[in-house]
Amino acid sequence: MPRGATVVFSAHGVSPSVRRDAAERGLNVVDATCPLVTKVHQEARKYAAAGDTVVLIGHAGHEEVEGTLGEAPERTVLVEDLQDVDNLQVDDPTRVAYLTQTTLAVDETTALIDALRNKFPGARGPGTADICYATTNRQAAVSEIAERAQLIIVVGSANSSNSRRLVEIAIRSGTTAYLVDRADEVEPDWLDGVSVIGLTAGASAPLVLVDEVIARIGEYGPVDVVEHTVTRETVRFTLPPEVR
Top mean pLDDT of 109-113, 203-207, 211-215 is at: 211-215
Average pLDDT score, the chain: 92
Residue 124 lies in a domain: no
For residue 2, is it within any domain?
no
Considering 71, 95, 119, which residue would you say is the last residue of a domain?
A: 119
- What is the rounded CA–CA span in Å between residue 99 and residue 60? 14
Number of domains composing the chain: 2
HSE of 39 in the Cβ direction (CA atoms, 13 Å)?
Answer: 15
* Any domain includes 91: yes
User: Could you tell me if 106 and 62 lie in one domain?
Assistant: yes
* 126 has a pLDDT exceeding 90: no
Residue at 56 is within a domain: yes
Give a yes or no: residue 62 inside a domain. yes
Residue 92 lies in a domain: yes
Select from 89, 119, 149 the last residue of a domain.
119
List the domain range (segments joined by +) for residue 77.
37-119
Same-domain check for residues 172 and 148: yes
Helix (H, G, I), strand (E, B), or coil: what is residue 222? coil
Helix (H) or strand (E) holding 60: none
Which listed residue (24, 43, 63, 64) is catalytic? 64
Q: What is d(CA 90, CA 111) in angstroms, rounded to the nearest whole number? A: 20
- Say what the pLDDT of residue 168 is: 94
Q: Specify whether 112 is located in the same domain as 138.
A: no
Is position 214 within any domain?
Answer: yes
- Asked which of 119, 145, 171 is the last residue of a domain, the reply is 119
pLDDT for residue 23: 95
Residues 185, 178: Cα–Cα separation, whole Å:
10
Spatial distance between the Cα atoms of 193 and 67, rounded to a whole number of angstroms: 45
Are residues 165 and 89 part of one domain? no
Q: Do 200 and 137 reside in the same domain of the chain? A: yes
> Would you say residue 223 lies in a domain?
no
Q: Confirm whether 63 is a catalytic residue.
A: no
Lowest mean pLDDT among 17-21, 56-60, 188-192, 227-231: 227-231
CATH, residue 186: 3.40.1010.20
**Which among 34, 85, 109 has a CA at the least distance from the CA of 64?**
34
Look up the pTM and report it: 0.81
Asked if 158 and 209 sit in the same domain, the reply is: yes
pLDDT at 20: 96
Model confidence pLDDT, tens digit, residues 82-114: 999 999 999 999 999 999 999 888 888 999 999
d(CA 96, CA 87): 15
Quick one: 165 and 208 in the same domain? Answer: yes
Q: What is the pLDDT of residue 189?
A: 95
**One domain, residues 207 and 142:** yes
Residue from 178, 203, 174 nearest 191 by CA? 178
140/96 same-domain check: no
pLDDT for 103: 87
Instruction: Give per-residue pLDDT as tens, 136-179.
Output: 889 999 999 999 999 999 999 998 888 999 999 999 999 999 99
pLDDT score for 229: 81
